[in-house]
A and B are shown apart, each in its own frame.
Chain A
């Protein structure tokens, strides 16, 4: 039976090759879209590692002035300490910390770390002692920075679970020394990385996975180093405010900081707002692509219906003959849909063959096998369902062919 179907399709190969091609391209387009959506959806499900509600960034204008670091370091430190004290003394604020690059901002630092010959490039950030209170960070092993870290001969660092897994494997990371090796990089509006690379770094704690770039970003390896407001650099403050305070408090806050020093400029951003903007910019192109692709699929479906319909009406005589010889409606259905299935299997087979090269050649390292497999299966199922759906109406038409009419035709 199936052999017969294959023969039928093969005999009309000229006409079928274009449909095969269309299904092949349609599968590729659908797969690319599903993989993209699957990748982001999978990221979205992962834990973020912090809470952004009621957290504001208080930026000070000097954060863009690289030269000041050299020339007037002491003045800067003095004012950073003064602003820090002022923020801590405000009853509306629950916790204050400094931070290198706040969540949802676009700057980053990276650095290479080595442990027993194993090298990993990772994102680095700086935070002060109260950062876990501001962002509700989960310390899963060891501890976060505190007063005990003052005046050490080495730099304490806190790493995240992903880095702990990749660098130390099953070993306990607490108390291990890691060395700073290889290239450092800077992105966005971040300044040059701090110059304390020579000092030995020792892991004192591990936090749950932390994704600074928000819900849609991939899990990344992360290292926090310690800053002390007023002693180290750190001109962006992250504050946790009491729930229910709005723009009115923002104005008050700026006024109070201006009372400390009127010559500085302050910029306040709520993390919820930054998050909205950032996610918005990430969703918009995805949504546009998804809309376009779904219209393309509708177009392909309509086209297929037309082509199959035309095919069926061309073959009235053949179908009429089968009916006259006693073929029931079911077997006509089977023939039309079966042929369509064979054609789409060829197209999908080719498509799957091409797509399988991606993990084999490791072309897109960021895709997990799980996302990849699910996307492949979902796209295959969707295209099969689509072709069958497109065949239903024409095959119904085919069963309505009257044997007498069909045989008389010509």
Chain B
């Protein structure tokens, strides 16, 4: 029976090519936009190297400090992370790392801008980078202030075209750093781990960072022993906040913050924690217009098929059967549109990757996104097929056979 439905469906699609084209155009366009949006979302928030084990990671991004002199929001200082986060009992490992900062180097008179991140030795245990050459630096390097650096693929290409950089010196801010490792590029939108070059915190020019407390430029990321431990860690962190001894209580005497995922943080900063809900609402609103359009076209199409419906009804097909048939036809159409959309979004994503609009973007259609896309397509097909099918099934057989509309 399904085979029959499919056969009829294809015959109908081919009969009115203009309508089929409009439907497919609408479906493919809608799905391309949705798939690209989902791919971007996944690119920023999804579990990807070097954060493939994201379900065990929590980061303290922003803290909110208050006191008699006003308030300040932003990354906390090194002293806070060192004294209060590193000493937490529950986490497996804690790493303290700075935000990425631009650094200018000059090579043969041309300017090279690199993003540099100051990290400790534990950074390389918490995040799992893909090392192409060499390896990470250690906690001892950090302790001794050794000028060593791990660089990414692109930086290797910029500074050492065609040669291995291991053991060689790279000049950052007028000082040489010995390259110990090369990792694959991390996209800039992987906000937590991204950099062009990673160097020990202790190599900073000024040691002042050690005294920064509530207002600085450091994050700390916690690796939990298991995903189940995350709640315990958040609990311990909350308890710790109440026991802080503030270095200058006349300025700042209250601190709030939470170890969380990037999604939680951004959601909190942008729309009070409802980012996912807002995104879903935006998606549904966006789908509104294409859906109405598709329903309209479908309603028009069935009018044209009224004689076919009349015959089937006259021979005893129930309304339910006809609804089923029409919905299946529509889902088939959306799936074809879905295939077109995947080809289309592949092209769009490749264009974004090559445009350099997002540095080091590697937007890809991984199986996860493919599944999301498929789910969206089927939902779309069902949603836009049900109303016309219901309308169709209400045609009176005699009227339908005579070619009148309902």
Q: Is B one of A's binding partners? A: yes
Q: Chain B residues near A268: list those with CB within 8 A.
A: 104
B289 in contact with A25 (CB, 8 Å): yes
Instruction: State which of A42-50, A84-92, A303-311, A327-335 sits at the interface with chain B.
Output: A303-311
Q: Chain B residues near A186: list those with CB within 8 A.
A: 70-73
A296 in contact with B106 (CB, 8 Å): no
Of the residues B303, B402, B403, contact of A310 by C-beta under 8 Å: B303
A267 in contact with B104 (CB, 8 Å): yes
Interface residues of B (CB under 8 A from A): 18-19, 21-22, 25-26, 29, 33, 69-74, 102-104, 106, 109-111, 173-174, 205-206, 208-209, 211-213, 215-217, 248, 251, 288-290, 292-297, 299-301, 303-304, 357, 402-403, 405
Q: Given the complex of chains A and B, what is the CA–CA distance between A46 and B300 in angstroms?
A: 49
A66 in contact with B212 (CB, 8 Å): yes
A251 in contact with B208 (CB, 8 Å): no
Q: Given the complex of chains A and B, what is the CA–CA distance between A202 and B361 in angstroms?
A: 51
A303 in contact with B70 (CB, 8 Å): no
Q: Chain B residues near A310: list those with CB within 8 A.
A: 300-301, 303-304
Question: Known: A22-B293, A26-B289. Contact between A67 and B72, CB under 8 A?
Answer: no
Q: Chain A residues near B21: list those with CB within 8 A.
A: 302
Q: Given the complex of chains A and B, what is the CA–CA distance between A261 and B303 in angstroms?
A: 83
Q: Given the complex of chains A and B, what is the CA–CA distance between A265 and B297 in angstroms?
A: 64
A66-B216, A307-B297 given; name 19 further pairs at CB < 8 Å. Answer: A65-B209, A65-B212, A67-B212, A70-B248, A186-B70, A186-B71, A186-B72, A193-B70, A263-B205, A268-B104, A280-B357, A299-B289, A299-B293, A302-B21, A303-B26, A303-B294, A303-B297, A306-B19, A310-B301
Question: Known: A22-B293, A25-B292, A254-B174. Contact between A247 and B206, CB under 8 A?
Answer: no
Interface residues of A (CB under 8 A from B): 15, 18-19, 21-22, 25-26, 29, 61-62, 64-68, 70-71, 184, 186, 189, 191-193, 195, 247-248, 250-251, 254, 258, 263-265, 267-268, 280, 284, 292, 295-296, 298-300, 302-303, 305-307, 310-311, 314, 410
Q: Chain B residues near A254: list those with CB within 8 A.
A: 104, 174
A22 in contact with B104 (CB, 8 Å): no
Q: Chain B residues near A64: list those with CB within 8 A.
A: 216-217
Q: Given the complex of chains A and B, what is the CA–CA distance between A263 and B206 in angstroms?
A: 7
Q: Chain B residues near A193: list those with CB within 8 A.
A: 70
Q: Given the complex of chains A and B, what is the CA–CA distance between A267 and B205 in angstroms?
A: 13
Q: Given the complex of chains A and B, what is the CA–CA distance between A193 and B69 in angstroms?
A: 9
10 A–B pairs (Cβ distance < 8 Å), ordered by A: A22-B292, A64-B216, A263-B206, A280-B357, A295-B29, A299-B290, A300-B289, A302-B21, A302-B25, A303-B296
- Chain A residue nearest to B75 (CB atoms) is A189
Q: Chain B residues near A29: list those with CB within 8 A.
A: 289
Q: Given the complex of chains A and B, what is the CA–CA distance between A71 and B304 in angstroms?
A: 84
Of the residues B22, B103, B111, B295, contact of A306 by C-beta under 8 Å: B22
A237 → chain B, closest Cβ, in Å? Answer: 16
A314 in contact with B70 (CB, 8 Å): no
- Chain B residue nearest to A187 (CB atoms) is B73
Question: Known: A296-B289, A299-B25. Contact between A306 and B300, CB under 8 A?
Answer: yes
A314 in contact with B405 (CB, 8 Å): yes
B22 in contact with A303 (CB, 8 Å): yes
A410 in contact with B290 (CB, 8 Å): no
A100 → chain B, closest Cβ, in Å? Answer: 15
Of the residues B33, B71, B110, B296, contact of A307 by C-beta under 8 Å: B296
A300 in contact with B293 (CB, 8 Å): yes
Q: Given the complex of chains A and B, what is the CA–CA distance between A254 and B294 in angstroms?
A: 62
Q: Given the complex of chains A and B, what is the CA–CA distance between A189 and B217 in angstroms?
A: 9
